[in-house]
Homo-oligomer: A and B are copies of this chain.
Amino acid sequence: MLRPLLFLTFAWYAAQAARAADPPLMPLPVKVETASGRLVVDGSFSVAATGYTDLRLEAALNRFAARISRQTGIPMLAARPPNASRATLRVECAGVPSGLGAQDPSLGEDESYQLDVAPEGARLKAATVAGALHGLETFAQLVGPGAEGFRVPAIHIEDSPRFPWRGLMLDVSRHWMPVEVVERNLDAMAAVKLNVFHWHLSDDQGFRAESRRFPRLQQLGSDGDFYTQAEIRHVVAYARDRGIRVVPEFDMPGHTTSWLVGYPELASAPGPYSIGRTWGEFDGTMDPTREETYEFLDAFLGEMTQLFPDPYFHIGGDEVNGRQWGQSASIQAFAKAHNLEGASGLQAYFNQRIQKLLQKYGKIMVGWDEILRPDLPADTVVQSWRGQASLAEAASKGYRGILSAGYYLDHLRPASYHYGIDPLAGAAQKLTPELASRILGGEACMWAEYANAETVDSRIWPRAAVIAERLWSPKEAAADGTSMYARMEAVSRVLEWTGVRHRANYGPMLDRLAAGRPAEPLRVLADACEAQGLGTRARAMKYTSLTPLNRLVDAARPESESVRALEQAASKLEIAPLREQFIRWAANDARFQSLAKDNALLAELKPLSKDLSALGVAGLRILTYLEGRRPAPKTWLSAQAKELDRMLKPRNEVVLAGVRPVKLLLDELARRRK
């Protein structure tokens, strides 16, 4: 038993507590009470299950002990003690509710936990292993160096998720993501309590799962880059161990070019087909009118559904351009004969047929917005890339839904943008509680047109942690953007210990660009830049899946931490760090130009670098005006404002984010003039 803690009267609820000094937790728990004192974490630290246990929990405790050891650098020989009751952290798991599988995570299971940390020890209580897993991650986020060594502050936490479906979709088709990329991202997902891995396994650019029934799918449709069935089973088990459901997606009847390379007979127009190398909507579409198509898919789904234990199965169903259907006389005749109106009618027919196949194999169908048509069974789940209105409509028609609009990580929007998107906002706000409960949650989406195995982690993390918080924490709790960024920065570092390389890949990519020479001038430039997402890149040049992703835009972050710090300094008029940075920028171009000599990868950045130095010079002059008594000349002010606006326009698919703090200072200067 833990001795009763004398909690401070300052007990706070997360709703009121969004301050930068908060425990660096993401997602924020439902209820947090801090107390005085701390639990020491040293070489004698240990963890054990004192209640229900099973292989999954035991494996989790082993991983947890190794993780704490890695995170702190403290060797822990006896982290799993023989005598459970003496463990530093005791995990009391009530066990698995009867009727549910002991191992597989399931939608809607009890994920709550309660964590009590006192100087004498810590106790984690949970109804299920899933809850225990979440509590362990919370504990891990709390471990850090304090005044007397590593410790966890004394704390009482009660926690449970707001939404039961909190996912990350990963596109492994546009660019191939090897198993280790999936593994490390599953570890990171678990760290922020995401519980659905939506695996986008096929698209025009690659068919990534081994089929033994139809081996030409992967043999001809993947460039040799696909997951074997053994690897798929491994990933499913790996995810399950971390409390994560795996929902596979085989996108159909559109986005199927890679299937058609090996099986052109599935298509609505004669082949041959070749693997897609560009993006967008391709014409190749399955023929919804031939029985052979359904025979193929029956056998295919029969095989694939056996690999994935989760009841939910995603069939995509998005972006069918209908061109092949429109051009085929036989398909048009079929549509007419069956009273199917246009492409959407044909697709609805297709979906109904697929749904029946899935039902036969015990699966519940999930699809994108487009699948929503009458006659689908009520258990169908709609994933919305359109928005809350689409979800609300689905809910009022009896369907369940998950939100992805606003959660597209590949657009590289700021974390604050995603943070502002709520599944129950907008049209969904007006739903009755019963209808609202049909909105199960959401999924962050990582489409991979402009990301590969090297860069994808930095496109997902840490921003996905903010979406995880939006989906887990009480709506009111997760409101304050300032606390959000401070906590996101902390969690970004904790995530490093899960193995994701969102921070680690920066250095090597800059080194590559710098041709083996010290990359510091490039780093100064890259730190001041932010990578642009899908829209800008699609307009910038004709990308294919074979275009190298080795430029500044691929190394640069969607949001610059150091620019954010400068913005904060500028808003508080903290002059010293600003001046120091401006001096560095001003001096940087000469060094950058020397580094960029005879370097094709850096050549495009020369004007950008010149602007950064000009920005530094302008910043220094603004500081001089701010400190002096003389007001800045009006014409100079307006010329500067114009120049900054020019500099803020995306170039080289990045934005010179360093302009923003200078603009803040210039605005302040203009204000003073008035």
B508–A497 touching, CB < 8 Å = yes
Please, how many angstroms separate the alpha-carbon atoms of A492 and B515 in the complex? Answer: 12
Contact of A420 with B by CB under 8 A: no
**Known contacts A146-B599, A548-B75; is-contact A516 B24 (Cβ 8 Å):** yes
Please, how many angstroms separate the alpha-carbon atoms of A600 and B151 in the complex? Answer: 10
Within 8 A of B (CB), among A517-531: 517-518, 520
A148–B497 touching, CB < 8 Å = no
Contact of A482 with B by CB under 8 A: no
A601–B145 touching, CB < 8 Å = yes
A487 — nearest CB in chain B belongs to which residue?
B516
B546–A144 touching, CB < 8 Å = no
On chain B, the residues within 8 Å of A24 by CB distance are 516
Contact of A230 with B by CB under 8 A: no
A576–B587 touching, CB < 8 Å = yes
Please, how many angstroms separate the alpha-carbon atoms of A580 and B582 in the complex? Answer: 11
Within 8 A of B (CB), among A477-527: 489-491, 493-494, 496-497, 503-504, 507-509, 511-518, 520
Please give the count of copies of this chain that the complex contains: 2
A550–B73 touching, CB < 8 Å = yes
Partner of A598, one of B70, B146, B504, B554: B146
**Known contacts A561-B518, A601-B145; is-contact A548 B71 (Cβ 8 Å):** no
Contact of A549 with B by CB under 8 A: yes
A546–B71 touching, CB < 8 Å = no
Contact of A147 with B by CB under 8 A: yes
On chain B, the residues within 8 Å of A160 by CB distance are none
A508 — nearest CB in chain B belongs to which residue?
B496
A469 to chain B minimum Cβ distance, whole angstroms, is: 16
A70 — nearest CB in chain B belongs to which residue?
B454
**Known contacts A518-B489, A587-B576, A601-B145; is-contact A504 B512 (Cβ 8 Å):** no
A514 to chain B minimum Cβ distance, whole angstroms, is: 8
B148–A600 touching, CB < 8 Å = yes
Contact of A584 with B by CB under 8 A: yes
A494 to chain B minimum Cβ distance, whole angstroms, is: 7
On chain B, the residues within 8 Å of A603 by CB distance are 147
A223–B77 touching, CB < 8 Å = yes
Contact of A72 with B by CB under 8 A: yes
A597 to chain B minimum Cβ distance, whole angstroms, is: 8
**Known contacts A576-B587, A580-B584; is-contact A145 B73 (Cβ 8 Å):** no
B565–A518 touching, CB < 8 Å = yes
Against B, the Cβ 8 Å flags (1 = close, 0 = not) of A21-42 are 0001000000000000000000
The chain A residues found within 8 Å of chain B, CB to CB, are 24, 43, 70-75, 77, 144-150, 223, 452, 454, 489-491, 493-494, 496-497, 503-504, 507-509, 511-518, 520, 545-546, 548-550, 554, 561-562, 565, 576-577, 580, 583-584, 587, 598-603
Pick the 6 closest A-B CB pairs, nearest first. Answer: A73-B550, A490-B516, A147-B598, A493-B511, A74-B548, A145-B601
A-B contact pairs, 25 of them (CB 8 A): A70-B454, A71-B512, A72-B512, A72-B548, A73-B454, A75-B452, A145-B512, A145-B602, A146-B598, A147-B600, A149-B600, A149-B601, A489-B518, A490-B516, A490-B517, A493-B514, A496-B507, A503-B507, A504-B508, A518-B561, A518-B562, A520-B562, A577-B587, A580-B584, A580-B587
